[in-house]
Structure formats: structure tokens, C-alpha cells
Amino acid sequence: MRPGVRYMLYSTLAFSMMHICVKSLTHIPAHEIILFRSAVTLIISFAFLRYHRLPVFGTNRKILVLRGTVGVIALTLFFITLQRIPLAAAVTLQHLSPIFTVLFSMLFLSEKVKPSQWLFFLVAFSGVLLIKGFDERIEPIFMLLGILSAVFSGLAYVCIRILRHTDHAYNVVFYFPLVATPVMGIWCMINWVQPMGYEWGLLILAGVFTQVGQIFMTRSLQAEEASSVAILKYLSLVYALGFGYFLFDETYPWMSLAGIGLIFAGVGLNTFRRKVSL
């Protein structure tokens, strides 16, 4: 297994655990969760940079700031949808991001996408649509916010790809909380909800899982072409279906099983496309 593929699989699992933490914090506003998450990752990222004797503020600072900004927008929109609609549906909308990643990579990075890959993307995306189906619990406004989150996520991934030649993965990860912490801190001064008991632990865990997920995601996108590994994020939808059912009593139609099969087919064919003779 190529390193970029392996790193993205690790990242997907870590982010899925973070989704559980956020989904469990039902009455804590999204911006407050992001503040705690960012504060934790800011401390950890700074420690990593100092330990490895890397320049704290990196080299390509304009793109680093841009990556942090679009990442914060994407995460805020995603957390809002994650708290307002079923887990699998929220993750489904977020998983439109690989499509936007490919489009932005073609526009800004001149990366080539093989014709067969479009077929694999279509197969995987068809699986996403099949799993989602028609759900009356999803209001149009939250569907729109979910799609916008995917758009900004796609931009963030392209920024990471650009930074692969200039900055270490730790610098890329560091700029997200560097942007998010002051912005969300000001927001929380206006609207603050006091966490209770175990919620403090969930807030901290959300930050830890995020740090792990971001590091592996960044390493993956720096090791492989964005179009090759971004689609592996679809696997987190499988986790969302399982966690949603067992932890949050969310039920799904039988077509979800067929959708999972399509996702695995699309992901597998894309990952090993170089070994497939079409």
C-alpha cells in the first residue's frame, strides 16, 4: 500500500472519531467546539514544531493563511450540519469535497485526471447518493451549508497540495488553529454555553482526534496527487453509518448497503487504477 493511501486511511478513522465527539455535544454551539478543538491542536502543533526545530510560521505564509481561512469556514459549516441533521447525511454532503478537489486541482495545479478516474468517481458518488436517498429530516438550508462546506474543503486540500514543496505538514496543520482560535474566541465572547461534566472530555478528545486526522491527511496529500487519495475520504461514510446506527439510533434504508458496495468499488478502483487494465 502506498504511503499516501495509508495516511489517508488513518486520517479518515481519526476524523470519524471526532465526528462522534461533535455529534454527542448536542447543545454546545459549533463555534465553541471549534474553539476548544483549535486550542488543543494549536498547543500540540506548536509543540511539534518546536520539537522538530521547524520555523513556526513556515515559508509560504500567504497560502498557509489561505489554507487556514478556508479550512475554518469549511469546518464551521460542517459542524453546523453535523449537529442539525443525521450523522451519515452530514458526512455524505461533506464527501462532495473530493469532486471539488479534483476540479480545483485541474484549474490551479494543472493535475491530470485519467478518463477512467471520472468513471470511478461517478461510481463512488452514486453510492453516496444512494445511501443518502430522500430524507425529510434534512432542511434545504442545511443541505446548502453542507455543500458549501465541501467546496471550501476542496479549496483547502488544493492549498495543502501547493504547500507540499515549501512547508512541512506540521506547519500546514498549525495554521488552521492559528486562524481559528482568535476568530472563534471572539465569537464565543458573544455567545458562550457552559459545558457540563463529560462534555469537557469530549471537547478535548475532538481536538486530539482532529490533530491526528489533520497530520495524516496533510501527509497523504503531500505524498500523492490530490485526485488519487481524496476519494478515500468516502470511507468515513461507512463509519458514519455504523456509528449513527449503534450510538445515535439512526436508521437507514436497505439501499444503504448497496451504496456502501458502490463506494468501496469506486474507492478501490481509483486507488489501484494503475494496476487495472481498462
How confident is the model over 23-33, as pLDDT tens digits? 999 889 999 99
The CA distance from 11 to 209, in Å, is: 9
142 pLDDT more than 90: no
What's the confidence (pLDDT) of residue 116?
Answer: 79
In this prediction, residue 90 has a pLDDT band, given cuts at 50, 70 and 90, of confident
The CA distance from 149 to 132, in Å, is: 17
| Mean pLDDT, residues 160-189 | 91
The pTM of this model reads 0.79
Please answer whether residues 170 and 55 qualify as being in contact, where contact means their C-beta atoms are separated by less than 8 angstroms: no
Taking all residues of the chain, what is their mean pLDDT, rounded to a whole number?
83
| Mean pLDDT, residues 46-51 | 92
Give 226's contacts (C-beta < 8 A, 6+ positions apart): 101, 102, 105, 109, 111, 157, 158, 160, 161
Please answer whether residues 78 and 206 qualify as being in contact, where contact means their C-beta atoms are separated by less than 8 angstroms: no
Nearest to 126 by CA among 229, 19, 251, 237: 237
272 pLDDT more than 70: no
What's the confidence (pLDDT) of residue 18?
Answer: 92
| Mean pLDDT, residues 257-270 | 72
What's the confidence (pLDDT) of residue 193?
Answer: 93
178 pLDDT more than 70: yes
What cell does 115 get?
478518463
What's the confidence (pLDDT) of residue 1?
Answer: 75
What's the confidence (pLDDT) of residue 6?
Answer: 87
**Alpha-carbon distances of 46 from 40, 172, 176, 178, 207, rounded to whole Å:** 10, 11, 12, 10, 14
